[in-house]
Amino acid sequence: MSRLLIQNVDAITLDAQNRILKNTTIAIEGKTIVALGDVPRDFPKGTDEIIDGRNHVALPGFVNAHTHSPMSLQRGWAEDLPFDRWLNERIWVAESALTEEDVYWGAALAACEMIRGGIVAFADHYFWMDQVARVVQASGMKALLAWCIFGLGADKEVGGASLERTEEFVQQWQNASEGRIKTTLGPHSPYVCSPEFLRRALNSAHKLGVGIHLHVAESQEQVNRSLKEYGKTPVAHLASLGVLDVPTIAAHSLSQR
């Protein structure tokens, strides 16, 4: 098993005391940090590599809590448009033509960028998620993966996906790659998914023992629409359906102004 020693580095621990250790040493064996500061006396003898961390800072890896990693390929598209036109006229139109290979290479580019930026884990919500899982496998990152589904019928889903197909994905990839990959269900949002479909997704989450990752309210217009249709804000609407009773990543949870 390989041994790495990083010396003379400043380390931000984020431990209970939020300590910052100046000019310290980090000992790594294989994939595990075995010591910080007080290195076992015999560790340096079998070290394969020593890095001088002088004038550098070591800190815990970052986690991106809500991503659409394959959308790295769509960066810069129609950024002069307001959100609703950007989404409806450009992004959803482009996504309807996605292939599995598109998703793989978009996720691969995103993984390279995240690793370079110190991000070690991400929660992804997109389509053709088997391809994103392949990227996670190869990259060594950790990820919580959700296959996005609208619940509007196979003809309106990217790749003709169904809730049953996403259940298969959840079961296939849960705890894969030595536990680095976790899965969850991914209904798109309360402004796209009907209450009936959200209940179906919730039942699946209970059955599989997983959570839910979805968009909640990305604009004030969506909040206003929810108040008009359901008499509740999107958060209150989801709570009334029981969606928030399972572990939930609630992205873009805009509150009413």
Residues 134 and 219 in one domain: yes
Q: Say yes or no: 30 and 95 in one domain.
A: no
Query: How many independent structural domains does the chain possess?
Result: 2
| Torsion, CA 19, CA 24, CA 30, CA 31, rounded to 10 | 30
In order of 35, 70, 79, the CA distances from 85 in angstroms are 52, 20, 10
210 with 129, same domain: the answer is yes
Q: What is the pLDDT of residue 94?
A: 80
**Residue 36 shares a structural domain with residue 116:** no
Q: 169: number of CA atoms within 13 Å, CB side?
A: 26
pTM value? 0.88
Q: Are residues 30 and 70 in the same domain?
A: no
How far apart are the C-alpha atoms of 136 and 139, rounded to whole Å? 5
Show pLDDT as tens, one digit a residue, over the chain (257 residues): 788 999 999 999 988 898 999 999 999 988 889 899 888 777 777 788 999 999 999 999 999 999 999 999 888 877 888 888 888 888 878 877 889 999 999 999 999 999 999 999 999 999 999 999 999 999 999 999 999 999 998 888 988 899 999 999 999 999 999 999 999 999 999 999 999 999 999 999 999 999 999 999 998 999 999 999 999 999 999 999 999 999 999 999 876 55
Residue 36 and residue 16 share a domain? yes
Say whether both 29 and 133 belong to one domain: no
Q: Which residue has the tokens 């049953």?
A: 164
Distance (Å, whole) CA 31 – CA 224: 49
Same domain? For 116 and 209 the reply is: yes
Q: CATH number, domain at 54?
A: 2.30.40.10
Domain boundary among 58, 76, 96: 58
Of 35, 58, 81, which residue constitutes the final position of a domain? 58
Same domain, residue pair 40 and 89: no
The verdict on 138 and 157 lying in the same domain is: yes
User: 15 is in which domain, residue-wise?
Assistant: 3-58
The reply to whether 161 and 194 lie within a common domain is: yes
**Are residue 179 and residue 137 in the same domain, yes or no?**
yes
* Residue at which a domain ends, from 58, 82, 105: 58
CATH code at 188? 3.20.20.140
